[in-house]
Homo-oligomer: A and B are copies of this chain.
Amino acid sequence: MAEKKAITARAQDYSQWYLDVIEAADLAETSIVRGCMVIKPHGYALWENVRDFLDRRFKETGHVNAYFPLFIPKSLLSREADHIKGFAKECAVVTHHRLIESPDGKGLIVDPTAKLDEELIIRPTSETIMYETYHKWVKSWRDLPLLINQWNNVVRWELRTRPFLRTTEFLWQEGHTVHATEAEAEAETMQMLGIYQELAEEYLAIPVVPGRKSESEKFAGALRTFTIEGLMQDGKALQSGTSHNLGQNFAKAFEVKFADKDGTVQYAWQTSWGLSTRIIGALIMSHSDDKGLVLPPRIAPTQVAIVPIFKTETQTAVLEFVSSITQTLKSAGIRVKLDDRDYETPGAKFNEWEKKGVPVRLEVGPRDMEAQTAVVVIRYSGEKRTVAVADLASELPKLLEQIQAELLSKARQFLQDNTTTVDSYEEFKQVLETKKGFLKALWCGDAACEEQIKEDTKATSRCLPFDSKPEVGADTEIEAQPQTGICFHCGKPATQRWLFAQAY
């Protein structure tokens, strides 16, 4: 593989640091195709673990997987008005289905006679192609709820791309359910958002704020969109998963109707929810440092890397010793990797596993062998401790869980320290110029107001957090604020504190 360069410090250039970590940790690289990345094995292993976590939870909550076509006929995508408005600008369009020899003999050209009658759009999301089918599947209350998910690739022609965070093609899951009542649809929307929050916090150690999106930020075609918002180390927010209550909007556009028990035919209530490879970007930015990637143990494809230290005369004995440790740890359910390459120095190996974010490294040399111990090095803190080999199988699982908890608690502290309650636009702008982070402000919710705030400050509303309490008049539950009851920006009536931030 090519020589690796040094990682730019976060303080120097956060944006370059992000790209450097991805390269150093072998997660992904840009491809020859504009805006598309190659997800390398180490990056893909992270996605596989995310997928397995979610897939298990989806199935536990009664969902099944299916697969719908990559292509959406143009007329079908246009059927729901708001929806097509939201996606028309980013559509990759298939117009032909054959290549032929160029008449001048200089290679291949698109065969003009193989033009499609109707252009096909590569799915930017699958509401339309799925609901055209749901129209046929849903006839009676017996067919409900319909709880379907799919794992696939989608394409949105983005102008500015960035590995994992925004790529022309990306991988994701999209769940699409149909229910008999609005209440059921709302409960489903919230349940799936809860699973996303569980993934973020319990598995990836990324604390998030769950809440409702503003009218401007909601999904094109949805009644209500809910989100989990994470806060990256540079003080910018990252929307990490969204769950939409679609109401009856698509049901009306696609005639998804059912006969109730009493025979009344009515429009169904629908939801959709998606989480993409973007979450890997959030994972990278939440925990990593200037030495490279830092992975929480639960998601880490390799939890413990063992680096044997030997010279020619001790090689056989040390390798035998570490092989036996490897087996013991594997039997204890730890994902362990023995790095027995004999053409790399231990120093180079330490460095490599550090850059790749492996939570724990074991160093074992002849002296450790004699003492029946191993040196345990914790990636995120750099802490070293000596542990008896006999205790490794019982100690390491505890250590890994402790690291997991510490990373979450560290990230929670960061989120808390970087959430500022502001009560004037002045204060709002000042915080954005200095520490950034989440800003909590009484806001009117108006789209035009939001647009102006965005123009001035690049900040947008992230969500109305679920725990945001109304703050009006005598009923206010927190200390009286100078501006209680009015929007921090435009002065219109406002009763609740929304979360704002500059965002990825």
- Residues of A at under 8 Å CB distance from B? 1-2, 29, 31-33, 36-41, 44-45, 47-48, 64-76, 78, 84, 88-100, 107-108, 110, 119-122, 129, 132-133, 136-137, 139, 142-143, 148, 152-153, 155, 157, 169, 171, 343
Write the nearest CB–CB distance from A483 to chain B, whole angstroms: 42
Chain B residues with Cβ below 8 Å from A97 are 90-93, 157
Q: Are A38 and B64 neighbours in the complex by a CB distance under 8 Å?
A: no
Please, which residues of chain B bring their CB within 8 A of the CB of A76? Answer: 32
B-side contacts of A29, CB under 8 Å: 133
B74 touches A88 (CB 8 A): no
Q: What are 14 A-B pairs with beta-carbon distances under 8 A?
A: A1-B137, A29-B133, A32-B133, A38-B67, A39-B68, A41-B148, A44-B64, A48-B65, A70-B122, A78-B108, A93-B97, A94-B94, A98-B157, A152-B153
Which residues of the other chain, B, contact A72 by a CB distance below 8 angstroms? Answer: 33
Name the contact of A96 in the complex, choosing from B93, B132, B142 (C-beta under 8 A).
B93
Given A1-B143, A2-B136, A74-B108, the answer on whether A88 and B66 have CB atoms closer than 8 Å is no
A92 cross-chain contacts in B, Cβ below 8 A: 71, 94, 96-97, 120
> B residues within 8 A CB of A64?
41, 44-45
Q: How far is it, in angstroms, between the C-alpha of A38 and the C-alpha of B135 when the chains are bound? A: 14
Interchain CA distance A91-B111 in the complex, whole Å? 10
Contacts of A132 in B (CB 8 A): 32
Copies in the complex: 2
Residues in B whose Cβ lies below 8 Å from that of A171: 67
Q: Which residues of B contact A70 (CB under 8 A)?
A: 36, 122, 153, 155, 169
Q: Are B88 and A100 in contact (CB under 8 A)?
A: yes
Instruction: List the B residue with the shortest CB-CB distance to A157.
Output: B97
Q: Which residues of B contact A33 (CB under 8 A)?
A: 69, 71-73, 120, 129
A143 to B1, CA, bound (A): 6
In the complex the two chains form, what is the Cα distance from A267 to B93 in whole Å? 38
Chain B residues with CB under 8 Å of A78's CB are: 107-108
Most buried by B among A47, A48, A69, A76: A69
Chain B residues whose C-beta falls within 8 Å of the C-beta of A133 in the assembled complex: 29, 31-32, 38
Residues A129 and B32 in contact in the complex (CB < 8 Å), given A38-B67, A98-B91: yes
Q: A96 — nearest CB in chain B belongs to which residue?
A: B93
Contacts of A2 in B (CB 8 A): 136, 139
Closest to A147 in B: B41
A133's closest neighbor in chain B, by CB? B38
Structural contact, A108 and B94, CB atoms closer than 8 A: no
Pairwise interchain contact A91-B95, C-beta atoms closer than 8 A: no
Residues of chain B within 8 A of A73, CB atoms compared: 32-33
8 Å CB contact of A44 from B65, B88, B143 = B65
A148's nearest neighbour on chain B, judged by CB, is B41
Q: Determine the chain B residues whose CB is within 8 A of the CB of A143 once the complex forms.
A: 1
Of the listed residues A72, A95, A169, the one surrounded by the most CB atoms of chain B closer than 10 A to its CB is A95
A397 to chain B, nearest CB (A): 22
Interface residue from B41, B91, B93, B110 paired with A66 (Cβ < 8 Å): B41
